[in-house]
Structures are given as structure tokens and as C-alpha cells.
Amino acid sequence: MADFALNNPNTGKQEETFQRIADSDRDGILDRSTAAFKEWSATSIDERAAVLARTADLYEERAEELAEHIGREMGKLTRWGKAEISIVADIYRYYAEHAHELLADEELPAQGAIHSYVRKDPLGPLLGIMPWNFPYYQVARFAAPNLLLGNTIVLKHASICPLSSQDCEDLLVEAGLPKDAYINIYASGSQMDDFVADKRIKGVSLTGSESAGAAVAKTAGENYKKSVLELGGNDPFIVLDDEKLEWVLDQYLPIRMYNTGQACNAPKRLIVMEDFYDRTVEYLEKKIDAMKVGSFDDENADIGPLSSIDARDEIVERLQKAAQNGEATIRVGGKALDREGAYMEPTLLTDVDPKADVGCNEIFGPVAIVYKVKDADEAVKVANEASEYGLSGSVWGADVEAAAKVASQLKDGMTFVNEASVTAAGLPFGGVGRSGYGRELARWGVGEFVNEHLFRVSGQDDAGLSPAL
């Protein structure tokens, strides 16, 4: 009997069912991954790079089908799905094209030896626990650099992504990855603790909720293995002046509402000066009220459904509670739409209490929040002190030097000036605080789950350095 189903958030209807693994399957899965590691880690850098390059090609060739899968699974508009797939192809191709540069030995001063250097060695089988909001991209960020290193991967995806999670394995295998070097498993979150603790797993990467991240970090730490966590954000978007106010707001709104607001690094807190606060609110009220909500395959839709009806209802309940408690004013939207599927009205909040739930915690949906401050110093204070997250932030202003000075004060893992939420294969991704730790992409992607192995070569007559300290 099936354990879970693909529930299409566009229609609210169940489409396909799938079987989760049994606990007794764990040993076989990890034995297979361990055996595959011996083969995959012994291949040349060129062989691994070729697999990643072919994977990039396959994502591009199958973009239509792959976008349709995630549209049905979690409601991503087709144009957004194709954009995600394009970035995924870029990531696999980046690691293929930069393989030798990224894995090159690091030469050190000899320091009393003939030769001292550090070699990048793979660790072994890794566990990935990934979320539903960017089903291909999140996997690529983790898989591409680690497969290049020679690690193997066991991947537990979100249960609402059964089609795309299997796509990730199938495309790698078709590209030439040896059998079991990447294993997609249909599993529950409660089954992951035993995987993390198992000695055959050498590291774990999780993108998801704070509670799941805390559980993974605890078990990983107790078993002396590394973890990387990306847990979400409440990113500030600070506007310093009104020289190009409408242009800036036209940048902000689609970034905030991208993926129907279900992006960890979306700018969730718009912070503007009091001089142009009223104009900002008035402009956004009109823009948000005019946004069209539609299914993933509606070419005219501005946003799609939420990932599930439960997710939609949870957000609507939080918004209504905040309004009733005087913790926020709902200027536009805030309600579920009376139609089949997980749709809600795009929403604008003002007068938000920074210490209330909707102020200090992430809202993972199509909700814009505007804060009013008197100057840049207060904007920085609101950005840094009203949230314990630290994923990314941005500062916008006509005076680039002044904007950069303000941006330098933000306590985030990624900070932007006159742009926001930028991701690319050659840029590191990650945060601090409640947003987690560790970095993905670029050279940092191969720096997390790697044995930076020191080698020193000395002649028998060389004195070298003291072996004891």
C-alpha cells in the first residue's frame, strides 16, 4: 500500500501514489552507496566532469517535461520552472568546466620538506535532505560539487516531490553516473536520524525547516560528522531614497513574489524611509491588488498556488491572527481564494510589530511587508535586530557608495547593493544565525565535504620541522 501521494496544489486533487522505504531497507541502501563510492572515487577528474557536463545538457533538453513535473508537484509557474532548470544546467556545467581548477592540489611553502601540499580527497557517501520549493536547484547545489569530488549521494527529497526527485537520479544515470553513486529514496523525515547516525554516512546537508536542521545537527555532531544547514530567512530590502522609487519597487515586487513567495532568500521585509513611506504603500497596494493568481500552466498568471492547501491555510491563519491582535494591518489580500487548489490572495502588510510572529518569523508565501524608518541607521537596526535570521539582504540607493556603506553593516551571509536574491553557479550561497551554516556553490561547494589532506615529502636526511609540539 502506498505511503504518500502527489497532491496537485493547482487542482487540490490526488494524482499518483508512491511507496516509502522500510527501515529494513537502510542497510542495503548504504551498502550500495558505499560500494559505488569505491568505483566513483577511483575515476578520473575528466570522467566525473564529463558526467556533469552531460547532465547539464540533459536538463536543458528535458526542460519542458521537468518544468511540468514541478508545476504539478508544488505549483511552480512554467516560466519559473524553466528558469530554475536553466540555473541547474549552469551549475552542473560550471563544475564540469572548472573541475581541474577546483580540485587542484594547493601548493604550500616546503617548510623544511622537499614538497608540502594539500590534496582534496572525497569523504564517502553523503546524505542530502532537500525541500520542495526549488526541487532541482537545491539538489544541484549539493550534488554537483560533491559528485565532482568523488563522493556518492543518498538523497531524501520532500515527499511532495516524487517525480522531480526521481528525475534528479535518472538524469545523472543517463549522463553516465555509475549505478548507486546517487540514490533517490522515498523516505519520511522520521527515518533520517538513523541515516545521519550511521557510520557509512560521512556528512549531511539539509535545506529545510529550523526544527529539522536542529535535529540533523544534533545527531551529526554526536556522531562526529559534518553538517551543512540552509534553514530560511527574513531578508531585509532597504530603500534609502526615492530618486527612482517606482523602478526600485518594480524590482522588489517580482523578487518577493517569485515562486509565489516561497523562496528562503526572498526579500521579506521592505524597509523604507518615512519621507516616501506613504507613496510606497500606495504604489504597492495597486500593484499587488492587480496581480493575477493562476495555475502553473497559466501563461498570464503572476503567482501560482502555494505548495499545499495546508501551507496556504497556515499562512492565512497567521495573517488573520496578526490583524486581530493588532500586530499588523492587512492592506491588500490576506485570504484564501474560493476555488479548488491551494490559492491565496497576494498580500500587503503594514504596521507590523517586529516582535510578533509575522514580523520576526519567515512567511513562506506571497506576502509583502513594509516597515517605516526615519533614517539609514534605524533601517540597519530593524534589519539586524528585529530578526535572528541572516541569509541575505539588500540596500538600494542612487548614491552607490552610501548604499554600499549601509550594506556593509548588515549581518547576513549574502549582501547586495541595487540587486537582491541573486544566485549563480560561481557565487557562494549560505547564511548565518537561524539561517544555518556552511556554504554551497562556486569553490565553496567543494570545500564542505572534503578531506583537505596534507602531504609532506622529505628526504631521509632532511631535518624537517619538529614532530612534537
The domains spanning 4-231+435-455 and 235-417 adopt the same CATH topology: no
Pairwise CA distance, residues 159 & 131, whole Å: 9
Which grid coordinates belong to 235?
A: 531578508
Residue extents of the structural domains in the chain: 4-231+435-455, 235-417
Global pTM reads 0.96
Residue written as cell 550561497? 429
pLDDT level of residue 237 (50, 70, 90 thresholds): very high
Per-residue pLDDT tens over the stretch 306-338: 999 999 999 999 999 999 999 999 999 999 999
Architecture of domain 4-231+435-455: 3-Layer(aba) Sandwich (3.40)
Indicate which residue of 230, 327, 362, 440 is catalytic.
230
Which grid coordinates belong to 17?
A: 501514489
Residue written as cell 544534533? 218
Does residue 40 surpass a pLDDT of 60? yes
**Of 154 and 467, which is predicted with more confidence?**
154
Per-residue pLDDT tens over the stretch 147-189: 999 999 999 999 999 999 999 999 999 999 999 999 999 999 9
Per-residue pLDDT tens over the stretch 386-427: 889 999 999 999 999 999 999 999 999 999 999 999 999 999
**For position 1, what pLDDT does the model report?**
42
Does residue 2 surpass a pLDDT of 80? no
Pairwise CA distance, residues 266 & 251, whole Å: 12
Closest CA to 199 of 441, 385, 429, 27: 27
**Of 345 and 467, which is predicted with more confidence?**
345
**For position 180, what pLDDT does the model report?**
98
Pairwise CA distance, residues 369 & 423, whole Å: 23
Does residue 19 surpass a pLDDT of 80? yes
Per-residue pLDDT tens over the stretch 80-100: 999 999 999 999 999 999 999
Is there a catalytic annotation at residue 230?
yes
Closest CA to 378 of 242, 281, 276, 274: 274
Q: Which residue spans within 69-178 are E strands per DSSP?
A: 106-108, 115-122, 125-129, 152-156
Q: Is 40 exposed, middle or buried (0-12, 13-18, 19+ CB in 10 A)?
A: buried
Pairwise CA distance, residues 12 & 32, whole Å: 37
Does residue 463 surpass a pLDDT of 80? no
CATH 3.40.309.10 fits 235-417, yes or no: yes
Please say whether the dihedral angle defined by the alpha carbons of residues 94, 438, 431 and 196, taken in this order, is positive or negative. Answer: positive
Cβ neighbors of 383 (< 8 A, separation 6 or more) are 236, 238, 269, 271, 393, 410
Quote the mean pLDDT of the chain: 96
- The percent of residues in the chain predicted with pLDDT above 70, rounded, is 98
pLDDT level of residue 274 (50, 70, 90 thresholds): very high
Closest CA to 235 of 344, 121, 393: 393
**For position 468, what pLDDT does the model report?**
56
**For position 460, what pLDDT does the model report?**
85
Cβ neighbors of 43 (< 8 A, separation 6 or more) are 150
